[in-house]
Amino acid sequence: MTVLLTVVGILIVVVGIIVSVALHEIGHLLPAKLFKVRVTQYMVGFGPTIWSTRRGETEYGIKAILLGGYVAMIGMYPEPEKKADDAAATGEEPGEQKVTEPTDSYLREVGAQYAAPPIERSAAAEQLPDEAKRTVASHSTGLFQQMSAEAREVAAEELKEGDEDRLFYKLPAWKKIIVMLGGPAMNGLLALGLTAGTISLHGTNEAVPRVAEVYECVVSVQASEAGRDECTAQDPPGPAYEAGLRPGDEIIEFRGEPIEEWDELTALIREAAGESSQLVYLRDGQQHTTTLTPIETERPVTDRLGRVQTDATGQMITEPVGFIGMGADQEVIRQPPWEAGPIVWAQTEAVVGVVATLPVRMYDVAVTTFTDAERDPDGPVSVVGVGRIAGEISAQDQIPWESRLATLLSLVAGVNVALMVFNLIPLLPLDGGHVAGALWEALRRRLAKLRGRPDPGPFDISKLLPLTYVVAILMFAMGGLLISADIVDPIRLFE
């Protein structure tokens, strides 16, 4: 039964991720079609095509490797410049210059400034016989320029008559940005929708002002990290235990302040270190009053998601606060849908923090993969790691099935947050790289206009292909390392 539950959990998350990728690409597809760009393909996956159908001018399909997707739009790169060697195909005489009026409005506008001057030969050269006269064509042979030219030539092969005004690179910068932000925006909406659904229909585990456990003594953070959980004569007694609090007691008042939520109680306790405080609680329907003094102790600093914070060296960050030595009970409480906003925002901040320190995080993953070091549970994971976590959650049959399903959907929502943030990194081939290119295009056009210079025209992102290939190689290497880590040293939620 455990194996079956594990497989079901993995399938739920895998299907959720595939649907998320498909909707991400729809986020690009819809605005592209709205802006009249010709879209040749909408594909989910990579590799050989398993199934496809054509609707109008677009082929829709599914490929064998469901680890991504793409939307193919014509005119991602400007058309290649016409080579001088093409003269033979047009019937021109060798060395003859044929001057034609450009059909593109942009080229007509700036052609005068950038047109090549007429070829002039010296008097000595003119005295040579015709067969000895040669014209040397200038071509860039640099590797980067060649890569750019080849990419433009390949892209130009898809052009058909009537595509002149349907090329992506000819879109205004703001339209390019909308097309490229459509994918990450779709992931953000999915994260909000899934989160709103789970917290409003099922709820979230919330700490309530009811005592779940009481500690007889207060063990230091250092001793706890060392694995000691038993009291010694040197450990101070737990204030809550000394005051007579026991599991099941419901706290209703602290220092004269009514208590409705556990966070309200902990905030008051943390500020009352060393101060005698009155506490009112209910036990078996009867109200009781006791007095206790929170002791000052070093406790871990946590973020809004409840995760323990660490410094640059990986050490736990602590702060001196009041502590009485008791733990809260948990209940599943439904939240209004609009509470999804702060939750997704907190997740986004957390993912941005991971991405900002990604080189360090990947180094840590490599160290823990090939050594006995403990892996950071808040570090990056691959799709394999996500699947393992999903299977682990689903296999916990002591947890109600609706709670497990809600957790799996929340996991898919978290993956969408990660997809949104990762795709916004301003590097090609990611969506953020195209957005950065469009912003640069808009900036240089605006600066040219302010300086009274000719419009420099669209920015040719094919010139960044070398960087694109480097980023792609690094992404594949990072994926391979994370997959290896998730197989050799996976993150486990339950021991």
For residue 314, what are the CA distances in angstroms to 220, 271, 364, 375, 382?
Answer: 19, 27, 10, 11, 22
Catalytic annotation, pick one of 25, 157, 206, 264? 25
For residue 16, what are the CA distances in angstroms to 187, 371, 408, 413, 436?
Answer: 12, 33, 9, 9, 29
- Cβ contacts of residue 39 below 8 Å, gap of 6+? 29, 32, 33, 57, 58, 71, 72, 73, 74
- Three-state DSSP class for residue 43: strand
Picking from 106, 108, 107, 88, the residue whose alpha carbon sits closest to that of residue 98 is: 88
Q: Which residues pair with 318 in a beta bridge?
A: 300
Picking from 269, 347, 265, the residue whose alpha carbon sits closest to that of residue 303 is: 347
Across 333-343, b (16+ Cβ under 10 Å) vs e yields eebeeeebeeb
Strand blocks (E) in 154-231: 204-214
- Three-state DSSP class for residue 267: helix
Residue 84 CA to residue 86 CA, distance in Å, equals 5
Q: Is 319 a catalytic residue?
A: no
Beta strand 295-300 with 286-292 is: unpaired
95's torsion region: left (phi>0), alpha (psi -120 to 50) or beta? left
Tokens 């008042």 belong to residue: 253
For residue 54, what are the CA distances in angstroms to 29, 75, 107, 121, 244?
Answer: 15, 20, 35, 56, 74
For residue 286, what are the CA distances in angstroms to 142, 249, 280, 294?
Answer: 86, 10, 11, 24
- Three-state DSSP class for residue 420: helix
Query: Quick check: 394 and 493 in contact, CB under 8 A?
Result: no
* Residues, the chain: 495
Residue 259 CA to residue 246 CA, distance in Å, equals 18
- H or E element in which residue 289 lies: strand 286-292
Any idea which residues carry the catalytic annotation? 25
